[in-house]
């Protein structure tokens, strides 16, 4: 299966810090992920918690702790470092989110993932 690059949207439309979900591929099982903006930097991860594999969010585009200093899973509260994706507290300690290739070109955020979904 080949990877494709898709546009998530303009960097300027992301809150700082803030997140945006994306899906790559068609059908019932697209590859789902999210980007996190922190200043001019953008990080991207697959939307699968390293604890027991739930999607991290219950509300659209909501992946951060209240103080927006870390990524948090809504299921059981595992928290992850925004820059590295490693679990820093909670039940996924010692594990990490799956990073997704991300780039910003001409002010637009792009991610790369499997063309046919997961």
Q: Which is nearer to ligand FES, 87 or 111 (CB)?
A: 87
Separation of alpha carbons 102 and 23, rounded Å: 13
Which of 51, 46, 36 minimizes the C-alpha distance to 81? 36
Could you say whether residue 73 binds ligand FES (CB under 6 A)?
Answer: yes
Separation of alpha carbons 65 and 67, rounded Å: 5
Chain-centroid distance of CA 46 in Å reads 5
Stretch that binds ligand FES, among 4-12, 28-36, 48-56, 110-118 (CB under 6 A): 48-56
Q: Which is nearer to ligand FES, 27 or 53 (CB)?
A: 53
Could you say whether residue 91 binds ligand FES (CB under 6 A)?
Answer: yes
- Judged by the rule CB under 6 A, the positions of this chain that interact with ligand FES are 49, 51-52, 54, 73, 75-78, 90-92
């Amino acid at each position: 299966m080949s990877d494709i690059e898709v546009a998530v949207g303009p960097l300027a439309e992301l809150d700082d810090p803030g997140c945006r979900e994306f899906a790559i591929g068609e059908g019932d099982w697209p590859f789902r992920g999210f980007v996190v903006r922190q200043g001019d930097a953008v990080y991207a991860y697959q939307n699968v918690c390293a604890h027991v594999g739930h999607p991290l969010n219950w509300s659209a585009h909501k992946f951060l702790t209240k103080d927006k200093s870390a990524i948090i899973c809504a299921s059981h509260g595992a928290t992850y470092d925004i820059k590295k994706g490693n679990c820093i507290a909670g039940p996924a300690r010692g594990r990490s989110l799956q990073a997704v290739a991300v780039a910003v070109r001409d002010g637009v955020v792009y991610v790369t993932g499997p063309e046919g979904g997961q």
